[in-house]
Structure 1
Amino acid sequence: MKFNTLSLSVMMMGTLASAASLQAHASGYHFGTQSVSAQATANASAAEATDATTLFYNPAGMTRLKGTHFSGALNLVMPSVKYNNARASYPTQPYAAQPLPNGMTLPAGLNRSTAINGTTSGKLTDDLIAVPHMYLTHQLNDRITLGVGVYVPYASETEYQRDSVLRYNVNQTSLKTIDINPTVAFKLNDQHSLAVGVIAQHAEASLRQYANFGGSANPALNSLMSGVGGGHGNSDGYADVEGKDWGFGYTLGWMWEIDPTARVGLAYRSAIKHTLTGTADWTTPSTLAGQAAAARGYIDSDAKVNIKTPESLSLHGFKQLDSKWAVMGDITWTRHSRFDSLSINYSQPKSAPFSASNFAGQTTDKTTLVPQWKNSMKVAIGGTYQYSAPLQLRFGVAYDQSPVPDEEHRLSTMPDNDRIWLSFGGKYDLSKTSSINVAYSYIHIKDSTAKVNGYCGGATAGAVNCVSSYTAGQADYKSHAHILGVQYNHQF
């Protein structure tokens, strides 16, 4: 497993701990929907419990399903995350005195802060992403129902142009995760049910980030000796990153059948701990400045980080008003404040030529990130209308709060902000034992600005000694997404 020492913290935020994100779905780093029947109500239907996808939203609802139920869903996601007005700058950096061929010495000096050249706008996401989910439940007896879900909790891909002015932050990220979630539900009596499940989470992630190796070399040498590569941006290197990991957690559910027409429930998803170890795979330029990076520790080495995904708690309700109409709602709290800070330790210390002069020549084995995320809430309301015997219409709206506290803590790979879901769809009964759900959602994401830097939690480029190129940047973001979904349900 490989991790970039410069940007492992950013990858973790964009991936597993609020990891690499295609910020087109739910706030933070969640994919946003694991069921098409739920998607059609903007995920307000956790207490409805009418098909096998209830295993994800409230597993206690499985006790309402008689016999054996299967649901297979496919989401087609069309995200749009665009950035513009991007600008970034190099820090003021020292370079050492350099001997000249004529016996003279070029004195030490500074590479003054200058603007980073490159692309300043573009689209960060693919046009179409397909994400599947599958669920199976089986009623063992009148009291116990077993189930298993295989679904995607996080899925993302974000990529800037290789010459983007923000390339020293994160240039490309990708994340694919799959949860395997065996679950058992117990019917305590005619009104109350409980459930418990185990989550085995597999994740694959990749990342690319550039490093400014030319900043510590005297740019005046470029005119005296060929191949020096001195000066900002004249000797960029980069690291390609990919990794795999397993983590484990659990789910809990409770459902109360108040009467045949009304029910409420609670569902809890635990934090999942990931211990990630690997190596950094560096590509350095052939310039003298690039070759010198290896001597400063920029070679393949081990890296390690411990992270946790946040837990969440959902309260939801359902009410059948009459033979045609039903209403439902959900409030979900997520403990994103777990992602307050993150540190990565490296087995190979690296010198700090990219920091202010008071750190020049010193070494560090750590990158630290301080996102200071806050806990967030999602509120959704939805309804259904039984248009005819086989056709049910479904609709919903949701407000999803971002955990990002302000533009100073927003990531370039996750320009996350508050969003509103508008969803509608339907369920059509193909027979007494099978049905199909379809759904469409439009996710409006509030425009945002990200002010990003490589200061490792410090306010200025010289405040903290860490592995970073110490650049500062800013960009504006406009984002939205369309999601189409289709789901097949069958009762055996």
Structure 2
Amino acid sequence: MKRVLLSIIATCSLLNAGGYKVPEQSADSLGLAASNVAFSFGADAAYFNPANMMFLDGLHHFESTLGWFHINSIDFKSDGGKSYSSEKFDSLAGTFSFVTPEIYENWRFGLALAVPAAVGISWEDPETAFTGKRFKLQVVELNPTVAYRINDKLAIALGARGVYSKGKIASDFGRFGYREIQGDGINYGYNVALTYRPIEDLSFAVTYRSKVNLELKGSADADFNGALAPISYHGKTRVEIPLPAQLVLATGYKFSDFTLLLAFERTYWSKFKDYDFEYDDKTAAHSHPILGRYFKAFMDDPVVKNAKDTNTYRIGLAYDVNEKLRLMAGFSYDEDITSSEHTGLELPNTTSQAYSFGANYKFTPNLELGLGYLYQHRDKKRATGIKNGTRNGTGSMSGEFDASSVQITAMTFKYSF
């Protein structure tokens, strides 16, 4: 259960690396596979690269996005020959970005509300429900930023990150019992950015998002049966994990009616060594020489992650068909964050490739509408030592996750004044 909650929080809150990586927060970023870092086409600069706010025109810029997330069923086949399938998951999420004009000379301010993901997965088979019968996580990030123009070619920016996370998870231990954990938390970090344009059509950018110490506090309700009834738990629980820092190096070049965008991301997942829940309302039964071992096995067994730093490579191409219509396409390659030994049913990390396209239409000089679509292919992945339920208690199994996919569609409304 700890692996379920923490893995999802880690991947979704940070918007990057491994897991269900969903960094796209606007139709432009979706259509360009989140390569729009060196150049920005609107207010989403406030989130992806606030230094770019200094290169927008002098108006107020606002945009709001509604996105649909679809995670297909994930198939797992054990070495014993049995197959399991997770349930499909669908969710809607909304975001917005806002950029001011230069209220003070050479200064601009931005504000972005990002919904990294609303992710859920469930396994109904008793053997897999032991790890995660059902869980859901919602994450919201508020990111105010300020940008400063050093000269006509160079701009820098600084921002604060406020991340709110809310999770709910259930595990079914069969004849042994059932448990549910829920919690939430607000945590903080910062981000910085720099954009340098030696000539008008060439841009270089660097962005950095700090590590955020994510703390979740909530409650756990666990009811065990028979001889294990004394270790039932109804009380407080908490956990703290580091969300790794992220560095992005990007460039872009405009030629004729095209804009080519490249981005390289380095995410420092190696900060994830292990993690564990703390239960503040334990009784003597939970520390009993015999019963305590069962409580540890079902509720309090630390999870070793040993994640590694990963790279993501992004490329995007925008084409201005005319003064009103812009077409976009993108591709990204994302590395896996964990070994087979540390991959579980709750979040089958794997290498992935994303293909995207989009369009932006300008109805008036101040009103635009953008559409974006992304398809992410997730490779097959071997997994070993997955904890599961058996007729006699707990066990483990190994096998292979089949290839799977994630789809995202978004519509963005843009307005400047």
Deviation at 1:329, TM superposition (A): 0.6
Deviation at 1:366, TM superposition (A): 4.3
Give the 3 Å change call, closer, same or farther, for CA 29–484 of structure 1 in structure 2. closer
Q: Aligned partner of 2:381: which letter? A: S
Give the 3 Å change call, closer, same or farther, for CA 479–56 of structure 1 in structure 2. same
**TM-superposition CA deviations, 1:141-196 (whole Å, max 9, x none):** 340111111111242001111x3322222222211010111111111111111111
1:186 equivalent to 2:148? Answer yes
**Structure 1 unpaired stretches of 5+:** 1-6, 89-114, 212-232, 285-289, 456-468
Per mean C-alpha deviation after superposition, the further-off stretch among 242-251 and 339-348 is: 339-348
Distance, in Å, in 2 between the alignment partners of 1:321 and 1:173 is: 47
- Which of the residues 456, 474, 487 maps onto 2:398? 474
1:64 equivalent to 2:58? Answer no
Aligned positions, number: 406
Distance, in Å, in 2 between the alignment partners of 1:360 and 1:428 is: 60
Give the 3 Å change call, closer, same or farther, for CA 210–328 of structure 1 in structure 2. same
Give the 3 Å change call, closer, same or farther, for CA 73–274 of structure 1 in structure 2. same
Match of 1:334 in 2: 267
Contact 2:13 2:165 (C-alpha < 8 Å) held by counterparts? no
Aligned Cα RMSD in Å?
2.7
- Which of the residues 137, 153, 156 maps onto 2:119? 156
Secondary structure of the 2:130 match is coil
Contact 1:197 1:252 (C-alpha < 8 Å) held by counterparts? yes
Q: Aligned partner of 1:310: which letter? A: P
- Which of the residues 258, 267, 282 maps onto 1:325? 258
Deviation at 1:353, TM superposition (A): 5.4
1:439 equivalent to 2:372? Answer yes
Distance, in Å, in 2 between the alignment partners of 1:239 and 1:171 is: 10
Distance, in Å, in 1 between the alignment partners of 2:367 and 2:264 is: 30
Distance, in Å, in 1 between the alignment partners of 2:307 and 2:113 is: 29
Contact 1:400 1:419 (C-alpha < 8 Å) held by counterparts? yes
- Which of the residues 304, 309, 331 maps onto 1:370? 304
Deviation at 1:28, TM superposition (A): 2.9
Q: Aligned partner of 1:332: which letter? A: E
Q: Aligned partner of 2:329: which letter? A: F
Distance, in Å, in 2 between the alignment partners of 1:362 and 1:76 is: 39
Greater C-alpha radius of gyration: 1
Q: Aligned partner of 1:147: which letter? A: G
Distance, in Å, in 2 between the alignment partners of 1:438 and 1:360 is: 52
- Which of the residues 245, 250, 273 maps onto 2:190? 250
1:293 equivalent to 2:228? Answer yes
Distance, in Å, in 2 between the alignment partners of 1:313 and 1:258 is: 22
Contact 2:93 2:117 (C-alpha < 8 Å) held by counterparts? no
- Which of the residues 151, 164, 168 maps onto 1:206? 168
Match of 1:169 in 2: 131
Distance, in Å, in 2 between the alignment partners of 1:350 and 1:12 is: 24
Give the 3 Å change call, closer, same or farther, for CA 142–261 of structure 1 in structure 2. farther
Secondary structure of the 1:190 match is coil
TM-score (norm 2): 0.90
**TM-superposition CA deviations, 1:441-477 (whole Å, max 9, x none):** 111110123224449xxxxxxxxxxxxx642123432
Deviation at 1:279, TM superposition (A): 2.9
Deviation at 1:56, TM superposition (A): 1.5
Q: Aligned partner of 1:279: which letter? A: S
**TM-superposition CA deviations, 1:316-341 (whole Å, max 9, x none):** 1111112x122111001111111111
Match of 1:228 in 2: none
**TM-superposition CA deviations, 1:123-158 (whole Å, max 9, x none):** 3332x3212110111022340111111111242001
**TM-superposition CA deviations, 1:266-316 (whole Å, max 9, x none):** 0111111123333320133xxxxx143232x22213333221111101011
1:491 equivalent to 2:416? Answer yes
Give the 3 Å change call, closer, same or farther, for CA 365–168 of structure 1 in structure 2. closer
Match of 1:215 in 2: none
Instruction: Give the percent of matched residue pairs that are identical in Structure 1 and Structure 2.
Output: 20
TM-score (norm 1): 0.77
Secondary structure of the 2:184 match is strand
Distance, in Å, in 2 between the alignment partners of 1:166 and 1:76 is: 27
Contact 2:345 2:386 (C-alpha < 8 Å) held by counterparts? no
Q: How does 1:87-98 map to 2 (within 5 A)?
A: none
**TM-superposition CA deviations, 1:38-86 (whole Å, max 9, x none):** 1111111111122010111111111112220001112222221322324
Secondary structure of the 2:215 match is strand
Match of 1:82 in 2: 74
**TM-superposition CA deviations, 1:212-242 (whole Å, max 9, x none):** xxxxxxxxxxxxxxxxxxxxx5x23111122
Distance, in Å, in 2 between the alignment partners of 1:442 and 1:394 is: 14
| Higher normalized helix content (fraction of residues) | 2
Q: How does 1:18-417 map to 2 (within 5 A)?
A: 18=11, 27-65=18-56, 66-86=58-78, 120-126=83-89, 128-139=90-101, 140-161=103-124, 163-211=125-173, 235-284=175-224, 290-295=225-230, 297-322=231-256, 324-347=257-280, 348=282, 349-351=286-288, 366-404=300-338, 406-417=339-350
